[in-house]
Amino acid sequence: MQRNDLHATVRGLVELTRPVNCVAAGSLTLIGAFVAGIGDEAVLTAVAVVTTAVAVGAGNAINDYFDREIDAINQPDRPIPRGAVSPRAALAFSSLLFAVAVALTLLLPIAAIAIAIINLLALVTYTNVFKGLPAFGNALVAYLVGSTFLFGGAAVGTLETPIVLGVLAAAATFTREVIKDVEDIEGDREEGLNTLPIAIGSDRALWVATGVLLVAVAISPLPYLLGTFGAAYLVVVLLADAIMIHACVEGFRRPTVAQRRFKYGTFLAALAFVVGRAAALI
């Protein structure tokens, strides 16, 4: 293999992992560990963060392997369609990353191992099993996002506080995914997908998503009410709740705008827990 070909292949393999997504997912695990209280478990936290990043990279790579025919039409610049990486190489690379993630996971407490096993199975089966099912694909993506916080907490030995953050993040992600499906409804119909808005209608799908979010919003003050975090947490999380509720309303009229606002709301929700934990340490 010539040097230019090797460089193109390596670049393609890195692109398969979606490096930015890997770093973002690892950051969520770090937040989960910080919220739970890293204490003397810095090494386990580092292992959990790296494990999350590697597992997400493996999941992205195997999804590109399964989606290679659709990507040849819709995303021709991705590594497999443009010929930078062969399907066989993508599958082998994904398998290697999954193996590394499993090996790292075995260094963590049993609760973290259990979460990792469920997540790895979810990443492998998402494209072929759940992606085309109304609401199930959205729910699985939402769970995976929320579980990154739980994984960080489990790595340092506690899920008590991260679980509220995980539920809030999962609900926000589910709602944002449904709004995205509403935005993409025409294209999804043409591709033969059966998303929630296609199955039950856009307005009904948005009401389902709003209901899921409102449940999470209702439990978001719990860390304050239980005395885990103080007023600083409550102020920031209520602001995050308000932004996400407003985004739900916006989703009925302008789904593209609503998606962006959900990202801000989710970020603020995570920041609320960081602020709450930091204030508790002072």
Which tens digits make up the pLDDT trace of 30-89?
999 999 887 668 899 999 999 999 999 998 999 899 888 877 877 788 999 999 899 999
CA pair distance 22, 182, nearest whole angstrom: 26
CATH number of the domain at 166, please: 1.20.120
With CA atoms as reference, report the closest residue to 151 among 20, 45, 41, 13: 45
Whether the per-residue pLDDT at 224 is higher than 90: the answer is: yes
Q: Which helix (H) or strand (E) segment is 178 a member of?
A: helix 162-183
Both 150 and 186 in a single domain?
A: no
CATH number of the domain at 83, please: 1.10.357.140
Query: Where in the sequence is the domain holding 92, given as residue range(s)?
Result: 1-157
Both 151 and 191 in a single domain?
A: no
CA pair distance 177, 265, nearest whole angstrom: 14
Identify the domain boundary among 157, 175, 209.
Answer: 157
**Who's near 87: CB < 8 A, 6+ residues apart?**
65, 68, 80
Sequence-separated contacts (24+) of 37-42 with Cβ below 8 Å: 37/156, 37/158, 37/161, 37/277, 38/156, 39/156, 41/155, 41/156, 41/157
| First CA to last CA distance, the chain | 57
* 106 class by beta-carbon count within 10 Å (0-12 exposed, 13-18 middle, 19+ buried): exposed
Question: What token pair was written down for 43?
Answer: 């090494």
Domain count, the chain: 2
Both 147 and 192 in a single domain?
A: no
Both 117 and 246 in a single domain?
A: no
Name the residue with tokens 């049993």.
110
Both 103 and 6 in a single domain?
A: yes
Both 9 and 149 in a single domain?
A: yes
Q: Cα 54 to the chain's mean position, in Å? A: 14
Distances from the Cα of 273 to the Cα of 41, 66, 80, 105, 266, angstroms: 19, 37, 39, 25, 11
Per-residue buried b or exposed e for 231-263, using 16+ beta carbons within 10 Å of the residue's own CB? ebbbebbbbbbebbbebbebbeeebeebbebbe
Both 151 and 165 in a single domain?
A: no
Identify the domain boundary among 135, 157, 179.
Answer: 157
Both 41 and 134 in a single domain?
A: yes
How many other CB atoms are there within 10 angstroms of residue 77's CB atom? Answer: 9
With CA atoms as reference, report the closest residue to 147 among 162, 165, 166: 166
Both 149 and 184 in a single domain?
A: no
Both 136 and 237 in a single domain?
A: no
**Chain-wide mean pLDDT for the chain?**
88
pLDDT per residue over 81-130, tens digit each?
Answer: 999 899 999 999 999 999 999 999 999 999 999 999 998 888 777 766 77
Report the range out of 132-136, 185-189, 201-205 with the highest average pLDDT.
Answer: 201-205
Both 106 and 174 in a single domain?
A: no
Identify the domain boundary among 157, 173, 200.
Answer: 157
Q: Cα 56 to the chain's mean position, in Å? A: 9
Both 146 and 125 in a single domain?
A: yes
The pTM assigned to this predicted structure is 0.84
